[in-house]
């Protein structure tokens, strides 16, 4: 019996102690007509060797293509130590640190994580993480409504560069509470917000900026932050944590800084793994801390006056406040946060800067190579971080299919987002010059054919 330790003698003795004649008898309070004889579609058990064989075979079907897709998830080198330590049983198989004395390892790790992520975003306080970047925007939007009571609307304005899936997710999660999401006009040349088209009469409760934008551009975040604050809106920033090694952090945007920062934590040591598990990070100004959703760890002292860590501000949460909680969220993405804390410690600031610079340099090489091909050019002018949008004179989908047949994942098809034939490419530090040149050569060959 997989994972069940009972010997026949154990079972006999236990049933005798209970006073039951069989295990079946223990289910005698369940109406008979509800009991099933057997499952129909679950196969018979396989052992570890057999399942390992099957999974390796299936993994091989997926292959290891050369990947130039970004669009919200990024391939970075993950130091071996990150997951070696994160999957130690003491981290892997522990639960929520409600018994603080027996969970100091998890709690201190989260406190260190909170410190690092506030340093990166330039804001005061952080929670212990949310599910992922997209759902973090939903939570940030709800939080903005709670903090900004002067504005009576629930209208949230999104910069044109906000990831369209994030908007969908925010709507699915927060729409039932009356929040609406509207896009600001886009300047066609830069891909960024069209400042000439900003109108002062929409009474937004919050304005959302994404830096770098979904299409890879860099927005004038200072001007947009100041404009949003002048409208009385809370400013929510969506940022890529790797980029914050180089770019000015949300806490320093405009005169007052963004109020809330959130985003996808995956680039910080979490494998791409077909989309999850990742983690969403969220930081904010101190004055908003009591409206922040999710778990928060604080440093305090114990009976002997020694420092220690505990979950705090739990009065915000569902297990205390029930229907009046700040969110229904219960879990955080603890294991991913542990991994990211180890990742950030191993890289340090200098290491993260190198990752950011190398990714930028590789993307520059890739964009230059592709733009040298007839019929490919930059879609938007202006600076970028590690992702660039390209305009093509041919449909993108068939090109991507042909590249995939050569085991190259050539990028994200931006056509629907941009309204024209467009491709979003990304080359992180994991790519060599040879990888990049091979990709460029393949595109040139396909286009020439």
Find the binding residues for other proteins in span 140-179 (CB under 8 A): 163, 165-166, 168-169, 171-173, 176-178
Interaction between residue 48 and other proteins (CB under 8 A): yes
List binders of other proteins among 282-311 (CB under 8 A).
289, 295-304, 306-310
List binders of other proteins among 200-239 (CB under 8 A).
218
For residue 319, count CB atoms less than 10 angstroms from its CB and return exposed for 0-12, middle for 13-18, buried for 19 or more: exposed
> Of the candidates 187, 194, 198, 252, which one interacts with other proteins according to CB under 8 A?
252
**Contact call for residues 151 and 205 (beta carbons, < 8 A):** yes
Task: Report in angstroms how near the CB of residue 370 gets to other proteins at its nearest.
Answer: 17
List binders of other proteins among 77-136 (CB under 8 A).
77, 79, 81, 83, 85, 87-97, 99-106, 108-109, 111-112, 114-116, 118-120, 122, 124-126, 128-129, 131-135
**Contact call for residues 56 and 71 (beta carbons, < 8 A):** no
> Of the candidates 151, 346, 371, 444, which one interacts with other proteins according to CB under 8 A?
346
Structure tokens at 432: 């060599």
What are the distances in angstroms from CA 150 to CA 116, 231, 290, 318, 443? 32, 11, 17, 26, 53
Task: Report in angstroms how near the CB of residue 129 gets to other proteins at its nearest.
Answer: 8
Task: Report in angstroms how near the CB of residue 343 gets to other proteins at its nearest.
Answer: 9
Angle at 166 between CA 165 and CA 168, to 5 degrees: 60
> Of the candidates 153, 180, 291, 345, which one interacts with other proteins according to CB under 8 A?
345
Q: Give the list of residues 6+ apart from residue 38 with CB closer than 8 angstroms, or none.
A: none
Task: Report in angstroms how near the CB of residue 202 gets to other proteins at its nearest.
Answer: 23
Q: Give the list of residues 6+ apart from residue 325 with CB closer than 8 angstroms, or none.
A: 316, 317, 318
Stretch that binds other proteins, among 230-238, 266-274, 414-422, 440-448 (CB under 8 A): 266-274
Interaction between residue 249 and other proteins (CB under 8 A): yes
Provide the edge-to-edge strand list for the sheet that holds 422-426.
Answer: 376-378, 387-392, 422-426, 412-413
For residue 336, count CB atoms less than 10 angstroms from its CB and return exposed for 0-12, middle for 13-18, buried for 19 or more: buried
Largest CA distance in the chain: 83
Stretch that binds other proteins, among 53-61, 144-152, 189-197, 368-376 (CB under 8 A): 53-61
User: Phi, psi at residue 351, to the nearest 5°?
Assistant: -65, -40
Task: Report in angstroms how near the CB of residue 311 gets to other proteins at its nearest.
Answer: 8
Task: Report in angstroms how near the CB of residue 198 gets to other proteins at its nearest.
Answer: 20
Interaction between residue 275 and other proteins (CB under 8 A): yes
* CA dihedral for 52, 53, 57, 60, sign (positive or negative): positive
Considering beta carbons, is residue 55 or 441 the nearer one to other proteins? 55
> Could you give the CA distance from residue 439 to residue 319 in angstroms, rounded to a whole number?
52
* Residue 228: how many other CB atoms lie within 10 Å: 26
Considering beta carbons, is residue 316 or 391 the nearer one to other proteins? 316
* Residue 373: how many other CB atoms lie within 10 Å: 18
Interaction between residue 42 and other proteins (CB under 8 A): yes
> Of the candidates 385, 388, 436, 443, which one interacts with other proteins according to CB under 8 A?
385
User: Phi, psi at residue 179, to the nearest 5°?
Assistant: -75, 140
Interaction between residue 348 and other proteins (CB under 8 A): yes
Q: Give the list of residues 6+ apart from residue 1 with CB closer than 8 angstroms, or none.
A: none
3-state secondary structure (DSSP) of residue 9: helix
Interaction between residue 327 and other proteins (CB under 8 A): yes
* Residue 42: how many other CB atoms lie within 10 Å: 7
Task: Report in angstroms how near the CB of residue 237 gets to other proteins at its nearest.
Answer: 14
Task: Report in angstroms how near the CB of residue 374 gets to other proteins at its nearest.
Answer: 25
Task: Report in angstroms how near the CB of residue 78 gets to other proteins at its nearest.
Answer: 9
Interaction between residue 72 and other proteins (CB under 8 A): yes
Interaction between residue 75 and other proteins (CB under 8 A): yes
Considering beta carbons, is residue 133 or 161 the nearer one to other proteins? 133
Structure tokens at 293: 């959703």
List the end-to-end C-alpha distance of the chain, in Å, as a whole number. 59
Interaction between residue 432 and other proteins (CB under 8 A): no
Stretch that binds other proteins, among 34-42, 145-153, 185-193, 202-210 (CB under 8 A): 34-42
Stretch that binds other proteins, among 65-73, 226-234, 369-377, 439-447 (CB under 8 A): 65-73
> Of the candidates 380, 412, 417, 439, which one interacts with other proteins according to CB under 8 A?
412
């Amino acid at each position: 019996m997989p994972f069940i330790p009972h010997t026949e003698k154990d079972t006999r003795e236990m049933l005798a102690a209970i006073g039951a004649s069989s295990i079946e008898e223990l289910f005698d309070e369940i109406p008979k007509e509800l009991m099933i004889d057997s499952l129909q579609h679950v196969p018979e058990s396989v052992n570890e060797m057999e399942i390992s064989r099957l999974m390796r075979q299936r993994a091989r079907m997926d292959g290891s293509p050369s990947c130039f897709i970004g669009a919200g998830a990024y391939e970075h080198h993950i130091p071996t130590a990150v997951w070696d330590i994160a999957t130690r049983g003491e981290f892997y198989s522990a639960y929520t640190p409600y018994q603080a004395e027996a969970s100091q390892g998890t709690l201190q790790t989260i406190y260190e994580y909170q410190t690092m992520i506030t340093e990166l975003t330039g804001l005061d306080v952080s929670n212990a993480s949310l599910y992922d970047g997209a759902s973090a925007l939903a939570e940030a939007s709800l939080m903005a409504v709670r903090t900004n009571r002067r504005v009576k609307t629930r209208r949230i304005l999104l910069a044109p560069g906000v990831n369209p899936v994030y908007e969908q997710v925010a709507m699915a999660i927060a729409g039932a509470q009356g929040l609406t999401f509207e896009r600001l006009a886009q300047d066609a040349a830069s891909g960024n917000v069209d400042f000439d088209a900003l109108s002062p009469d929409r009474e937004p409760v919050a304005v959302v900026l994404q830096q770098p934008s979904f299409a890879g551009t860099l927005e004038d975040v200072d001007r947009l932050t100041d404009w949003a604050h002048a409208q009385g809106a809370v400013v929510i920033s969506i940022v890529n944590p790797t980029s914050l090694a180089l770019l000015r952090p949300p806490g320093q945007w405009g005169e007052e800084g963004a109020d809330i920062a959130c985003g996808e934590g995956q680039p910080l040591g979490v494998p791409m793994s077909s989309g999850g598990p990742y983690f969403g990070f969220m930081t904010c100004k101190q004055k908003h801390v009591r409206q922040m959703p999710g778990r928060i760890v604080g440093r305090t002292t114990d009976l002997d006056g020694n420092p220690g860590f505990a979950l705090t501000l739990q009065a915000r949460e569902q297990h205390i406040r029930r229907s009046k909680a700040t969110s229904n969220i219960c879990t955080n993405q603890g294991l991913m946060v542990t991994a990211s804390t180890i990742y950030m410690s191993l890289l340090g600031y200098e290491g993260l800067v190198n990752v950011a610079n190398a990714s930028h340099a590789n993307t520059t090489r890739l964009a230059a190579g592709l733009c040298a091909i007839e019929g490919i050019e930059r879609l938007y002018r202006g600076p970028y971080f590690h992702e660039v949008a390209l305009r093509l004179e041919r449909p993108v989908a068939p090109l991507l299919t042909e590249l995939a047949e050569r085991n190259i994942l050539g990028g994200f098809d931006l056509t629907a987002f941009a309204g024209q034939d467009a491709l979003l490419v990304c080359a992180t530090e994991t790519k060599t010059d040879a990888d990049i040149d091979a990709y460029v050569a393949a595109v040139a060959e396909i286009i020439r054919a």
